[in-house]
A and B are shown apart, each in its own frame.
Chain A
Amino acid sequence: MRKYVDLKVWSSTLNDDELRSVVQIGAEMGFWALGFACHPEELDRTQKIVRKLVSEGHRVFTSLEIELKDPKILRILPKLSKKAIFLSIIPLSLEMARKAVKLRANSIILPVNRNRLIFDSVCAKELSRREGTIEIHLVDLLRSGRRLLRALKMIRLEIEIARKYGIPIIASSGATRSAELLDPILMASISETLLKISREAALNSISDYPCSLLEKGGLI
């Protein structure tokens, strides 16, 4: 039986009780583990909540997302890579993506709101060598409105490049509230339809790949 994982549920806007209800809804939906996402400035608060929930017997972990706007951020990364967190980097340009793939991040996120390709075959070669992964936030795609067409055009091409180099594709919800949580079957369907990947790859993107990353990182 597959173990479904949602790597990113945003925790910053939710209080403790709301987070507990998110965990409960996630378990009802069939998720094996949930990741509470945060930005670096909210890391301590999120880790505290996660520790509390883990002590209550829930299977949750901290998922940190860093926007790579300028190279200054690279300085804080070595400290973060020692912590027990799922580390994702969002490069906002191709130059930053080339730097990002060389870092010890668990995943590289392909952002939705942009005008240019940020992931090319040079990035893919390097990421494949370092056994990295590509991640996509499905809720961001669904909320993108008029930008969906352009976003899909770029993301689909980037996914094709990544798959050519054997890089695993991971899908996470990126939900900001409990109503945005998606059932595993909905996540797999959205991945299959919008990202143009096979059914098996879509299911792996929310189960086998994230699971193996969590086990490898000792997060669960």
Chain B
Amino acid sequence: MRAKIPIGLIPPKRYVVLEIRGELDAHQLISIAMRAMQELYGVLGASELKIALKYYKEGEAIIETTNRDLPKILTALVFGLFKSGLDVQLRIKGVHGTIKKCFQTLKRQDH
């Protein structure tokens, strides 16, 4: 059973299409981002942020977050990567309001 939350308490979602260039998969990227979030914003700040990996295949990933948290999440991702010292480049292919549009972006790039 899914918990029901009043509509006013759910911030608008944002989906970020990422390209990860280097030897790192999206699951590792998320764990790096989670650690970076705690370090940058503390437990209280990080507890209010939303990040979820929705899709990952061959260096391309879709991350779900909210409109409010987007700058903080992107900062944490980059901060974590720089701190890890890995030779990885993160490229943002697009930011959309629906996951469907993200897949359209990925499809357009494949063609």
Chain A residues close to B by CB (< 8 Å): 28-29, 139, 142-143, 145, 178-179, 181-183, 185-186, 188-190, 192-194, 199, 202
Does B108 sit at the interface, judged by CB under 8 A?
Answer: no
Which residue of A is nearest B88, CB measured?
A179
Given A179-B87, A192-B71, A193-B72, is A186 in contact with B82 using a C-beta cutoff of 8 Å? Answer: no
Count of chain B residues near A, Cβ 8 A? 19
Is B89 positioned at the interface, with any CB of A under 8 Å from its CB?
A: yes
Q: A142, B91: Cβ atoms under 8 Å?
A: no
> Would you call B91 and A185 a contact (CB within 8 A)?
no
| Cβ B78 vs Cβ A186 within 8 A | yes
If A186-B74, A189-B70 touch, whether A29 touches B91 (CB-CB below 8 Å) is yes
Contact flag A189-B74 (CB < 8 Å), given A142-B79, A142-B82, A143-B82: yes
The A interface, classified by DSSP as helix, strand, loop or mixed, is helix
Check if A190 sits within 8 Å of B75, measured CB to CB: yes
Contact of A181 with B89 in the complex, beta carbons under 8 Å = yes
Q: Which of A143, A185, A193 contacts B92 (CB 8 A)?
A: A185
Closest approach, in angstroms, between the C-beta of B21 and any C-beta of chain A? 8
Pair A189/B87 contact, Cβ less than 8 Å:
no
Query: With the chains together, A28 CA to B89 CA distance in Å?
Result: 13
What are 10 pairs between A and B in contact, CB < 8 Å?
A143-B82, A145-B83, A185-B92, A186-B75, A186-B90, A189-B78, A190-B74, A190-B79, A192-B75, A193-B40
Query: What residues of B have a CB within 8 angstroms of the CB of A190 in the complex?
Result: 74-75, 78-79
- B95 beta carbon closer than 8 Å to chain A: yes
